[in-house]
């Protein structure tokens, strides 16, 4: 089953919250250079699945493979070391620290001589300034600005810039366009579309199915914790057909059809 092109394999994942089974035997894969849209209604298990991959939650059973090798992801630091970066609307940024500091959180460059362990503030600011331009922040925002002074979309851009700079293999975006303005939303969509060319893979979760259709290579659908579709090509189907799969209307049988 494994192939050389496979970046991630989440294999037979189960997760319970008390008596609620959030994930029921879900197998989910992402290829190298692939943008996967993960769809499903509220409570379908999307966030739970990607939180297991990003180390925020652990599965009750099932395995994760990265590049075909078993991966031991127990926390977000482990996930980052496997090249997995996750971006949420209220991403893992520290509001009171500057843009530059947030970009390097835990990976700050050190000034020579290294044993003094002084952060290289100048280098961080310079890298930050360039990255902000790359992710489409055209407004002149000094890299020393605290995150708390930014809009939702600008915060998103900082999180995206961090994933770009550290060349993460896999970038997970969970509802990244929620509460964003039109222009900011376009920026996120543009980023996802470009991610493939830049050598990244992405998992993109969004309630706006139009956004998903515009940027992904393949759509996977979860319904009440189970995977119900794995290989939908957005170029070969309609939004309505996928909506029917999400809600379960697509496989509804007439009451007397079973007789
Ligand atoms: N920390 C938690 N404690 C208890 N139950 C949880 C927890 N997190 C999720 N659940 C439950 O697990 C199920 C799946 O939730 P999850 O957040 O993964 O859904 P989702 O597909 O991301 O939904 P949404 O589209 O609303 O974000 C739901 O029934 C939810 O109530
Ligand atoms: Mg969710």
Ligand 2: distance of its center to the CA of 62 in Å? 20
Among the atoms of ligand 1, which is closest to the Cα of residue 18? 4
Q: Assign 3-class secondary structure to 175-212.
A: CCCCCCCHHHHHHHHHHHHHHHHCCCEEEEECCCHHHH
- Confidence band (pLDDT; 50, 70, 90) for 2? low
Structure confidence at residue 24 (pLDDT): 98
- Mean of pLDDT values over 56-76: 95
| Residues 188 and 177 sit within 8 Å (Cβ to Cβ) | yes
Domain spanning 6-251, CATH architecture? 3-Layer(aba) Sandwich (3.40)
Structure confidence at residue 257 (pLDDT): 47
Distances (CA, A) of 166 to 20, 71, 91: 37, 20, 16
Residue among 38, 40, 46 to mutate when testing ligand 1 (max atoms within 8 A of CB): 46
Ligand 1 pocket (Cβ < 6 Å) reads: 17, 20, 22, 40, 42-48
Ligand 1: distance of its center to the CA of 139 in Å? 37
**Domain spans of the chain, in order of start:** 6-251
Chain center to CA of 67: 18
Residues 163, 146: Cα–Cα separation, whole Å:
19
- Confidence band (pLDDT; 50, 70, 90) for 9? very high
Structure confidence at residue 127 (pLDDT): 86
| Residues 76 and 56 sit within 8 Å (Cβ to Cβ) | yes
Bond before 113 cis per omega within 30 degrees: yes
Among the atoms of ligand 1, which is closest to the Cα of residue 47? 22
Global pTM value: 0.84
Residues 181, 94: Cα–Cα separation, whole Å:
22
């Amino acid at each position: 089953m494994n192939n050389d092109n496979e970046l991630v394999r989440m294999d037979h994942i189960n997760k319970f919250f008390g008596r609620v089974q959030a994930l029921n035997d879900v197998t989910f894969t992402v290829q190298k250079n692939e943008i996967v849209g993960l769809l499903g209604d509220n409570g379908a298990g999307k966030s739970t699945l990607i939180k297991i991959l990003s180390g925020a939650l652990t599965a009750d059973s099932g395995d994760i493979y990265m590049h075909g090798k078993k991966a031991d992801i127990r926390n977000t630091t482990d996930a980052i070391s496997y090249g997995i970066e996750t971006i949420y609307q209220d991403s893992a940024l520290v509001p009171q620290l500057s843009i530059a500091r947030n970009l390097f959180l835990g990976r700050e460059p050190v000034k020579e001589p290294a044993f003094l362990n002084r952060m290289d503030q100048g280098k961080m600011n310079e890298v930050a300034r360039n990255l902000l331009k790359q992710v489409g922040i055209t407004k002149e925002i000094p890299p020393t600005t605290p995150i708390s002074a930014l809009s939702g979309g600008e915060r998103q851009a900082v999180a995206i810039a961090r994933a770009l700079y550290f060349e993460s293999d896999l970038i997970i975006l969970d509802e990244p366009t929620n509460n964003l303005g039109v222009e900011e939303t376009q920026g996120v969509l543009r980023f996802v579309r470009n991610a493939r060319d830049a050598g990244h893979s992405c998992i993109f979760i969004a309630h706006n199915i139009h956004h998903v259709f515009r940027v992904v290579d393949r759509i996977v659908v979860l319904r009440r914790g189970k995977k119900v579709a794995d290989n939908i090509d957005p170029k070969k189907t309609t939004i309505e057909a996928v909506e029917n799969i999400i809600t379960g209307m697509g496989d509804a049988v007439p009451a007397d059809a079973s007789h």
